[in-house]
Chain A
Amino acid sequence: MSLPPWIRRLVLRAVSPRDEDEVLGDLEEVYARRSARSGPIRATVVTGVEALGIAGGITVGRLRRAVRGSLMTSSELRLAARLVGRTPLMSLASVAALAVAIGLATTGFTVVAAVLDRELPLPAGDRLVDVTFRDASTGEDRPAPPPATRLGGDAVPGLDHVGLARTAQRNVRHPTGEVELVSEIFITPGSLERLGVPPIVGRGLSAQDALPGAEPVVLLGEAWWAARFNRDPSVVGRILDLGTRSARVVGVLPQEAVYPGPADLWSPLDATPEAAGAARAGTRLFGTLAPGATPALVAASLGALADGWWDAGLVARPVTVSVQRTEDPGPATLPGVVVLSVLIALLVLVAGNVANLIMARTAARRGELAVRTALGAGRGRLVAQISIEVLLMALAAAGVGLWASQRVLAMLAASEAEDLPPWIDLGLDAGVVAFVMGVTLLATLVAGVVPALRATRSQLGGLLRSGGGGPGASSFGRLEDTMIVGQVALSIGILGAALLVHQGWSTEFLDARLGVPSDRILVARMSADAPLSGATLRGLEARLTQLPGVVAAGVGDHTPGVDAPLRQVVLEDEAGGPGTALRVPRARVGPGYFQALGTGPLTGRTFVADDFAADALPVALVNRSFVDRYLGGGNAVGRHIAIPDARPPDAAPALATPSHRIVGVVPDLGLTATDPERAAGVYLPLTTAWSFRAVVQTATQPEGLDEAVRGAAFAVDPGIGVNSTIVLSTSLSALRRVFVVAGWGFTGFGGLVLGLSLLATYALLAFEVTRRTREIGVRVALGARPARILTALLSRVAGYVAVGALVGTGLGYLLVEVARATFVHRFPPTSPWTFLGLAGLALLVGFAAAWIPARRALSVHPVEALRAD
């Protein structure tokens, strides 16, 4: 009988061609013999098992030969694994510390690499540039000025295509009556073709589609086409009700259409002067570089054009131009590199702590190492064996760290899915794996090879003769001492700053009630595709007020509790002097805004309908903090403030700055989130708006009012899209949560560093006790009291903490000042007691870390100590 094919295949996979005949032939022979003796079934089973053994044996033999040729042998690996398991607590602490560090570094690397290495999935992605216009005097970003919107395809040297794009939100009313808010991008028709994004169904946009009077057409984005229309190609030709207009679907764009962003609808941008003039707000300019051109060349060309516009009076204010490749991460580069560098430095710090632990453990094995040396093991062999132990722990840590990093990044990607650019990929790729392997090797080098070299540099043979280490300076050295002191200082500094930041962000100012019924106020963010008139906005207020359960409604461009942007105002001098220039938060509101917030004027009045008339005299309101700070608490009604940027953007430069009469004082209503310095602010009438908020106060809980609000907005103007709704109390809680989370993040980091210093202290003292076991035993035998021995050990800890606290206090003060300057928040005065308290905590932590080795020192029996090496 012939050998079963599966046995033949099994063997052929394992044996080399040289051995095929031999092994298969032997199996054939014994199988035939067994079949004749015991039958084919038993023969198959027995021979199959035998074949498995042969294949396995051959494979293991190959592995052994390969391993024998490398630095490691199987016995070394087993020994390393045994030694790691012999000190489980120390090994676990090392793996945990390395896992955290590797996980943090990997997370940081993945994010930074994704941000810095962006690559648009477009054929022309590498030539795409974004053009930014800025006010020459204030540096603030400005929309593309009117002359820029009329630039033709080759009007700019260095660009072979100039395009315009604008994003919007659009209400789509489906045949079922459902109103859906979708994203829309208006774009110059030739740009999609230039970007290399052909439609997957139907046709793209043509120049004729953008001409005045042309039939309105639209392209669908692939994702929305799939979700809403089940990828039905017959959607081409269908008419969509887009609220203010209807448009015919002419095609579908692929998901690669990601510039200037993914969108559900793509419409031709009417770039005629009239439409462009009206539509310029939010319109961005972009282009594709001509061969050989650079962003600098294009910026120079556009800058010269902009100067000409100013000279010709075509723009209200001079602008500067910057041009940047879309794929260029630009200002994100330096912060990204800094963040990654900090994380890698943290990894090195953690590995350094693990190195101290390894040193301490190796010190306890000096006798064993000496014996191995005497038996012929070279220094390289010993170093390799110690390094293998650390490599095993580092590999375990890398696995855990990589897993944790991927979980965190998955949560981040899910939570930020709508805001992340589509080309940002936070998934696992070859680069991340290579980074993980690299940091694992780095950790092994720092935590394994370096301490192994140091531990084996002395004459281990002499150790056998001398009987071990004696009293004297620790061979840990200045480096380790500096590391421990540094970590104590860092932990005290960071924790101290974190506590103060916590306190600053938790001041009564943030927690102070706005004095409004925030749990019964719904805030709806709205936008329109054309500026809404004051009449429309007041009509919206009226319509919202009529909804069932609504007490009052108003509109404004500010959500209470969010920092309003600072704007320039000039408080006019009543005596006719030059006035006082101020930068204060400023909001524009409708007549119903304050009533919707459940409040009214403290003095004077709030805005009334007459204030919004075209010929109305300019008026303003100020809040209580403004009166206290800038008017000394005096009467504000009747004073005047000038608003320099309240002129229309295209107004002639000679037009005088309007002077607004203050007609009332209102309470502080959250023009700033946390900083009392920014509380003093000004309110102006909201006469026109693209984007604004509707504030709706209800008699009961406002949840469930969303649909009614959408319906009311659509009824007033189908072009009004409701982007989101939130109850005001939830908004305030969410804001506070951001600060609290950030504060805890600092605290957690400081705690991590404190934990590392605990590890380092434990390692040092464990090493000390091991080295000085004989000395301690002799001293105890001679009558030394345990308290003295304990004092000697713990005094070292106290020394580290004292120096670390001094340095850490200085560091903490510095960090708080940086935070104060960066976030413009008022933190309480830095208290030295905070740092003293933390120094006490660090001392307790240090003593706790010293407890185990100290207890071991006290339990040393003199007889055993004298026998110790």
Chain B
Amino acid sequence: MGGGESSRGAGGQARLGEFELLVLLASLRLGPSEAYAVSITDDIEARTGRRVRRANVYTSLRRLEEKGLVTTGLGDPRPERGGKARRLVTVTESGLAAVQVAAAGIRAMWGGLEHVLGGAT
């Protein structure tokens, strides 16, 4: 379950597991007003085509919150949820920095492999 533990890399920046990175990316895309477990799950499933268990999303969000990479808070009650509120996710500065580091790392490793992978991003 989960996407692997974060650890500290050089410079003290948190290193992200693969699934944690996906959760953070989905949270950034959805924004603090729409990012919650259900929408994050839907976004990852839609974009990656892989089946995602929402239990894993909950676990990852707890872990990310413990490490200070996201904050969560209850929104307003919604009728389609039986009057219950959503727990909305906001990526913190640390979380954003961690995503940038991870992205930079992927780009760095991607470099020079365009001819193999078929087009850089």
- Report A's interface with B, CB cutoff 8 A: 2-3, 19, 21-26, 28-30, 32, 50, 53-54, 56-58, 60-61
Contact of A21 among B1, B38, B84 (CB under 8 A): B84
A54 & B55 in contact (Cβ 8 Å cutoff): yes
In the assembled complex, 19 residue pairs joining A and B whose CB atoms fall closer than 8 Å, in A order, are: A2-B82, A3-B82, A21-B84, A21-B85, A21-B87, A22-B74, A22-B87, A26-B36, A26-B54, A28-B81, A28-B84, A30-B38, A32-B80, A50-B53, A53-B53, A54-B54, A58-B55, A60-B1, A61-B59
Residue of B nearest to A51 (CB): B55
Number of interface residues of B (CB under 8 A): 20
Distance of A26 Cα from B1 Cα, bound (Å): 19
Specify which chain B residues have a CB less than 8 angstroms from the CB of A22 in the assembled complex: 36-37, 74, 84-87
Q: What 7 A-B pairs come out closest when comparing CB atoms?
A: A25-B84, A57-B55, A25-B81, A22-B87, A28-B82, A21-B84, A54-B55
The residue on B at minimum CB distance from A20 is B84
Please tell me if the beta carbons of A29 and B56 are within 8 angstroms of each other in the complex.
Answer: no
CA gap between A30 and B57 in the complex, in Å? 15
Chain A residues touching B, majority SS:
helix
> Given A54-B54, A57-B58, A57-B59, does the pair A26, B38 have CB atoms closer than 8 Å?
yes
Determine which of B38, B55, B58 lies in contact with A29 in the assembled complex, contact meaning CB atoms within 8 Å: B38
Q: Are A29 and B54 closer than 8 Å at their CB atoms?
A: no
Residues of B within 8 A of A (CB): 1, 36-38, 53-56, 58-59, 62, 74, 78, 80-82, 84-87
Known: A24-B82, A61-B59. 7 other contacts (CB 8 A): A2-B82, A25-B85, A25-B86, A26-B37, A29-B80, A53-B55, A57-B53
| Nearest-neighbor residue (CB-CB) of B86 within chain A | A25
A30 to chain B: which residues have CB within 8 Å?
38, 54
Could you tell me the distance in whole angstroms from the C-beta of B86 to the nearest C-beta in chain A? Answer: 6
A138–B109 Cα gap in the complex (Å)? 103
Kindly state the separation between the CA atoms of A29 and B62 in the bound complex, as whole angstroms. Answer: 21
- Give the CA-CA distance A32 to B38 in the complex, in Å: 13
Q: Are B81 and A26 in contact (CB under 8 A)?
A: yes
Interchain CB contact under 8 A, B58 and A25: no
Q: Is the CB of A54 within 8 A of B1?
A: no
The contact of A57 among B36, B56, B85, by CB within 8 Å, is: B56
CB neighbours of B80 from chain A (8 A): 28-29, 32
Q: Which of the listed residues B56, B58, B80 has the most CB atoms from chain A within 10 Å of its own CB?
A: B58
With both beta carbons as reference points, the residue of chain B lying nearest to A3 in the complex is identified as B82
Residues of chain B with a CB closer than 8 A to A21's CB: 74, 84-85, 87
- Nearest-neighbour CB distance to chain B for A389, whole angstroms, equals 26
Residues of A within 8 Å of B86, CB to CB, are 22, 25-26
Provide the residues of chain A in CB contact with B59, threshold 8 Å.
Answer: 57, 61
The residues of B that contact A53 with a CB separation of less than 8 Å are: 53, 55
Bound CA–CA A734/B1 (angstroms): 66
- Interface hub of B36, B37, B82, B85 (most chain A Cβ within 10 A): B82
CB distance from A23 to the nearest CB of B (A): 7
Task: Considering the complex, give the chain B residue whose CB is closest to the CB of A50.
Answer: B54
Residues on the B chain within 8 Å of A61, using CB: 59, 62
Query: Which residue in chain B gives the minimum CB-CB distance to A25?
Result: B84
- Contact of B81 with A29 in the complex, beta carbons under 8 Å: yes
Which residue of B has the minimal Cβ distance to A28? B82
In the bound complex, CA of A25 to CA of B74 (Å): 11
How far is the CB of B73 from the nearest CB of chain A, in Å?
11
| Nearest neighbor of B81 in chain A, beta-carbon distance | A25
Q: How far is the CA of A53 from the CA of B53 in the complex (A)?
A: 8
Distance of A54 Cα from B55 Cα, bound (Å): 5
Q: Which residues of A contact B62 (CB under 8 A)?
A: 61
* Closest B residue, CB atoms, query A54: B55
CA distance A319 to B62 in the complex (A): 84
* 8 Å CB contact of A54 from B36, B58, B78, B84: B58
- A32 — which chain B residues lie within 8 A by C-beta? 80
In the assembled complex, the CB of A52 is this many whole angstroms from the nearest CB of chain B, namely 9
Interface hub of A2, A3, A19, A29 (most chain B Cβ within 10 A): A29
Residues of A contacting B1 with CB < 8 Å? Answer: 57, 60
Given A29-B38, A30-B38, A57-B1; A24-B55 close (CB under 8 Å):
no
A512 to chain B, nearest CB (A): 79
- Chain B nearest CB, measured from A248 CB (Å): 76
Cα(A61)–Cα(B36), bound, Å? 20
| A432: min CB distance to chain B, Å | 40
Q: Which interface residue of A3, A25, A57 has the most chain B CB atoms within 10 A?
A: A25
Cα distance A28–B82 in the bound complex, in angstroms: 6
Q: Nearest chain-B residue to A55 (Cβ)?
A: B55
Q: In whole angstroms, how far apart are the Cα atoms of A727 and B77 in the complex? A: 89
Q: How far is the CA of A54 from the CA of B59 in the complex (A)?
A: 9
Q: CA separation between A54 and B38, bound complex, in Å?
A: 13
Taking the nearest CB of chain A, how far is it from the CB of B36, in angstroms? Answer: 7
B38 neighbours in A (Cβ, 8 Å):
26, 29-30
Chain A residue at minimal CB-CB distance from B85: A21
Q: In the complex the two chains form, what is the Cα distance from A25 to B77 in whole Å?
A: 9
Q: From residue B87, how far is it (CB to closest CB) to chain A in Å?
A: 4
Residues on A with C-beta less than 8 A from B37 are 22, 26
The minimal Cβ–Cβ distance linking B121 to chain A, given in whole angstroms, is 31
Complex Cα distance, B41 from A415, in Å, reads 67
Q: What are the residues of chain B within 8 A of A26 when measuring CB–CB?
A: 36-38, 54, 81, 86
CA A291 to CA B82, docked complex, whole Å: 71
Neighbouring B residues of A50 by C-beta, 8 Å: 53-55
Q: Quick one: which of A25, A56, A57 contacts B82, CB cutoff 8 A?
A: A25
A603 to chain B, nearest CB (A): 98
Q: Which residues of A contact B58 (CB under 8 A)?
A: 19, 23, 54, 57-58
Q: Which residues of B contact A23 (CB under 8 A)?
A: 58
